[in-house]
């Protein structure tokens, strides 16, 4: 009956899907390479009717409102610290902004009563059989599942194993981004402050829970680089080289980088799968259609998890029909949201001094800024959500 579902990835899409599958009477198992839930991380946001409708149907809105950051105002400065542009909290924070780690924890806790979680392991091979999929794990165990879902992000392991190599699906958009935690020795107030030179952004923002802590956020333009994704020391050298010789507070921020235990470093890229499923394997969230930053990936992942689980329930486990309807309902919506990621690097770190001035001038105009905010809400609410029954007792198959 296709009730036994393996989900790869325990960030956002995976636990959201596990929650809805459990509500519909399925038996989800989530495998995650990390030894535990990932804590901290950058703030993520929800905006528009579609995002909020799914959160409301999950019963999460009150809890997320209690732990929200309140939004993150952004200020851009020159080398002497003089303000060039102020952006309000809702520009980046949408209607609800929470830390990624907090959101992952909430989704995990709500899904846990109906899901099995396996941490510190990953899938090394998938073999489709006449009745299901045999999954071999790095730990040496093998298990059989009815369906497998890749909810493991832009660098999806499931997509690589089943659809093909990453380079066939992920496009580099010309920039890299890095974040790490540090003491708030600069005395940054609420929000974040950033400094630009052509092709580079160095920013730092206060931890909304602990004013003594801060987070650095660096973006720089570069062609596709060859580096080890599991070697943070090599990544630190790349960042230091890209920002060497800059003024403002960049030297102090780079000094903190060398002590940072929690570096995040990745290209700003987008993933485009020409089909989201093959056989008994399906992709959800950034693995199917996503962008590193700015593509509304968090909200889209939660929406996609809701629709995929609902279609599987409505099709009484007929994965072929469910996967086809899921993709048909959401592909255009996800691609529309994803296009925002194409502009993220150019917005944060324009390639020329003229581009920096133009961005600052346009966004200083309230009418232009309001238009961008309304556009974001409109793009995130361009799909009609079916109301899938979520009571397992109503599932009669």
Distance CA 108, CA 340 (A): 28
Token representation of residue 15: 């636990």
**Phi then psi dihedrals of residue 281, to 5 deg:** -115, 135
Q: How much is the mean pLDDT over the chain?
A: 91
**Token duo for residue 261:** 């235990």
Using 50, 70 and 90 to split pLDDT, how confident is the model at 390?
A: low
* Whether 2 contacts 319, CB under 8 Å: yes
pTM score, whole prediction: 0.92
* pLDDT above 80 for 199: yes
Q: What pLDDT, on the 0 to 100 scale, is given for residue 189?
A: 77
- How confident is the model at residue 47, as a pLDDT? 83
Structure tokens at 225: 């680089």
Paired residues of 126 in beta bridges:
135
Residue 376: both structure tokens together: 């974001």
Q: Could you tell me the two tokens for 279?
A: 């056989």
Q: How far apart are CA 335 and CA 317, in angstroms?
A: 26
What's the token pair of residue 87? 């952006």
Is pLDDT above 50 for 79?
Answer: yes
Question: What are 355's two structure tokens?
Answer: 């581009």
Q: How far is CA 363 from the centre of its chain?
A: 25
DSSP three-state, residue 359: helix
Question: Looking at residue 313, what DSSP letter applies?
Answer: H
**pLDDT, tens digit (0-9, with 9 covering 90-100), for 137-162:** 999 999 999 999 999 999 999 999 99
Q: How many residues does the chain have?
A: 397
By DSSP bridging, strand 27-32 and strand 116-119 are parallel
Which has more confidence, 10 or 209?
10
Looking at residue 393, what is its pLDDT?
52
Alpha-carbon gap, residue 51 to 95, rounded angstroms: 10
Sorted by sequence, the CB contacts under 8 Å of residue 186 that are 6+ apart come out as: 204, 214, 249, 252
Written as one string, the DSSP assignment of 228-268 is: -TT-HHHHHHHHHHHTTT--TTHHHHHHHHTT-SS-EEEEE
- Comparing 24 with 376, the larger pLDDT belongs to 24
Return the pLDDT at 186. 84
Q: What's the rounded mean pLDDT across residues 223-246? A: 95
- Rounded to the nearest 5°, which phi and psi values hold at 46? -125, 140
pLDDT digits (tens, 9 = 90+) for 295-338: 678 999 999 999 999 999 999 879 999 999 999 999 999 998 88
Task: Note the pLDDT tens digit of each residue in 163-186.
Answer: 999 999 999 999 999 999 999 888
Contacts of 223-226 with CB under 8 Å at 24 or more apart are 223/172, 223/174, 224/172, 224/267, 225/176, 225/267
| CB distance 190 to 174 below 8 Å | no
Among 248-252, 258-262, 382-386, which range has the highest average pLDDT? Answer: 248-252
Count other C-beta atoms under 10 Å from residue 20's C-beta: 27
Per DSSP, the residues of 75-130 read EEE-TT--EEEEE-HHHHH-SEEEEHHHHHHHHHHHHGGG-EEEES--EEEEEE-S
What's the rounded mean pLDDT across residues 215-222? 96
The average pLDDT across 225-251 equals: 95
Q: Region 232-257: what's the mean pLDDT?
A: 96
């Amino acid at each position: 009956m296709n009730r036994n579902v393996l989900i790869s990835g325990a960030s956002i899409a995976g636990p959201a899907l596990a929650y809805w599958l459990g509500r519909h009477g399925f038996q989800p198992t989530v495998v995650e390479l990390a030894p535990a839930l990932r804590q901290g991380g950058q703030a993520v946001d929800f905006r528009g009717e579609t995002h909020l409708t799914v959160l409301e149907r999950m019963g999460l809105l009150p809890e997320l409102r209690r732990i929200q950051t309140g939004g993150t105002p952004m200020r851009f400065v020159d080398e002497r610290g003089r303000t060039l542009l102020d952006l309000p909290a809702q520009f980046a924070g949408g209607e609800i902004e929470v830390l990624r780690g907090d959101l992952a924890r909430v989704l995990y806790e709500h899904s846990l009563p109906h899901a099995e979680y396996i941490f510190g392991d990953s899938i090394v091979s998938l073999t489709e059989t006449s009745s299901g999929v045999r999954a071999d794990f790095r730990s040496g165990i093998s298990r059989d599942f009815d369906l497998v879902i890749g909810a493991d992000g832009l660098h999806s392991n499931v997509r690589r194993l089943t659809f093909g190599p990453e380079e066939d699906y992920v496009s580099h958009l010309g920039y890299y981004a890095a974040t790490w935690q540090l003491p708030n020795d600069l005395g940054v107030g609420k929000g974040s402050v950033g400094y630009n030179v052509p092709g580079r952004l160095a920013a730092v923002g206060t931890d909304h829970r602990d004013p003594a802590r801060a987070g650095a956020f660096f973006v720089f333009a570069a062609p596709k680089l060859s580096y080890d994704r599991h070697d943070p020391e090599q990544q630190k050298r790349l960042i230091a080289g890209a920002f060497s010789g800059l003024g403002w507070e960049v030297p102090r921020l780079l000094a903190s980088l060398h002590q940072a235990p929690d570096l995040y470093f990745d290209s700003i890229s987008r993933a485009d799968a020409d089909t989201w499923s093959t056989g008994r394997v399906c992709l959800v969230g950034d693995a199917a259609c996503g962008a590193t930053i700015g593509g509304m990936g968090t909200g889209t992942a939660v929406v996609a998890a809701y629709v995929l689980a609902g279609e599987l329930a409505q099709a009484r486990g007929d994965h072929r029909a469910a996967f086809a309807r899921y993709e048909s309902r959401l592909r255009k919506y996800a691609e529309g949201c994803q296009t925002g990621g194409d502009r993220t690097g150019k917005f944060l770190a324009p390639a020329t001094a003229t581009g920096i001035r133009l961005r600052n001038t346009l966004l200083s105009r309230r009418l232009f800024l309001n238009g961008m905010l309304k556009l974001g809400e409109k793009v995130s609410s361009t799909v009609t959500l079916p109301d899938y029954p979520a009571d397992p007792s109503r599932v009669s198959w």
